Structure 1
């Protein structure tokens, strides 16, 4: 009903959290909300009679039965199903080849991979404060993610096409290959600086951005997931802008802005590199 995220990714402080509830359209019990029905108990608990809601909307529909009768809830569920199917129709397998990883959002990529039935064992690395600090072991980790991205059929639509969808783009995985301006991106000098680099304020947070179709597109770049010293240099170009390719998750869309969480950023492909690596 609100398209809020009901699954929250794990962080350094908290484990993954599920913040949704399965609600009954016709009540599970005859004396429950919308419970008067000829449906059997088995039919009441069948998926056709269930809908996934956030906590607030579950309370709202059960507390306002007159406003949310059975027919309306079925219509809401079907409208959401159609919205999801339209999004899946828009998506296509990501074709961009990245020859060097500048940025790997490890927690987000692990979640997406797990959803797709794949995984990468990171236990050998222990707690990862910052990819840059892994030293020689970073090569193995990046090779693992390279194979993982090839194994998992991540789907995405071009970022500029997502802009045309307005608020319906929220939650989409998008691909990009554009010239971005960079701001506030510097290599932290301590563990504390890595963990405190992103505070939720774009005036100070490290990020890249561009303007397209009347919107400012912003991607906050967490220094923990920048891979190498060379990658930090790419995020601090002398001209203040650089060409980046990769994948991101659309978090929010407003009239004049779009916020994207970057999943992977790297060196864009070009015909020379394609020919070189295809013959290697």
Structure 2
């Protein structure tokens, strides 16, 4: 936690499940020193819970702490999604929602670029620097694991939860009245399901609200306004309307996959 003076306070502790030494809480174990120092023997706790767990080892035996950690991992996985494997690397990004990218990075402990937008009101105002910004994001995305659930043609609306991250392999999206500049008209357009791109599934639609500020280039702007195009996407689920069978999402990244031609 950081306050207005720039002072930081650490609220989380790396708590040992089996103590680092045999004299510590739950220290009687066959684990060697290397295993005791391993991340497999660590549980993230706040300072109050850390004190409680270590001062009451009979109430909190090893088995209970392992179960507690596993339950927490399951919760994190349900919120953030599983690691998407065998995904094609990004080659080109047509859309980078910078604030959402920062939120995604913080949630997944991924170091993302720190863009210097200066007085620019949109990515395209950066000129040639917009390409460098895109390349820096592509480098990170292709290097780190991608934590998200993965869409398939069989994904049902009931599979989604608000706040989840979802990854779409290359698929056909359609666009509707994508505006070229951000103004008061943009939120009004979203309410009418305009200034969007969307993908149809069996019985429901995924609607992604487009903020014109985050389109990377003029070419990307033309593509997102073309009516129909193929893209890979990482989105954040904003709301789900079961009555109208629509899921609204904020796209974080839209782009083209690297198919090995470059």
Q: TM-score, normalised by structure 1?
A: 0.60
2:162 pairs with 1:170? yes
CA distance in 2, matches of 1:215, 1:165: 7
2:236 is matched with which residue? 249
- Residue pair 2:157, 2:204 contacting (<8 A) in 1 also: no
2:207 pairs with 1:218? yes
User: In the TM superposition, what are the counterparts of 1:199-214 in structure 2 within 5 Å?
Assistant: 199-200=187-188, 201-203=190-192, 205-214=194-203
CA distance in 2, matches of 1:226, 1:232: 6
2:75 pairs with 1:84? yes
- Residue pair 2:124, 2:218 contacting (<8 A) in 1 also: yes
1:198 is matched with which residue? 186
Q: 1:133 to 1:265 in 2, by over 3 A?
A: same
SS of equivalent residue, structure 2 residue 90:
coil
Deviation at 1:223, TM superposition (A): 0.4
1:143 is matched with which residue? 135
Q: 1:207 to 1:109 in 2, by over 3 A?
A: same
2:174 alignment partner, one of 181, 186, 197: 181
- Residue pair 1:180, 1:244 contacting (<8 A) in 2 also: yes
2:149 alignment partner, one of 151, 157, 174: 157
- Residue pair 1:197, 1:205 contacting (<8 A) in 2 also: no
1:105 alignment partner, one of 83, 88, 97: 97
2:119 pairs with 1:130? no
**What's the RMSD between the two structures over aligned residues?**
3.3
CA distance in 2, matches of 1:162, 1:82: 26
Listed as ranges, the gaps of 5+ residues in structure 1 are 1-43, 50-76, 189-193
- Residue pair 2:81, 2:165 contacting (<8 A) in 1 also: no
CA distance in 1, matches of 2:80, 2:133: 33
Corresponding pairs, count: 196
Q: TM-score, normalised by structure 2?
A: 0.63
CA distance in 2, matches of 1:186, 1:169: 28
CA distance in 2, matches of 1:236, 1:219: 13
Q: 1:254 to 1:153 in 2, by over 3 A?
A: same
Deviations 1:212-254 (A, max 9, x none): 12112100011000011111111122xx211121211112223
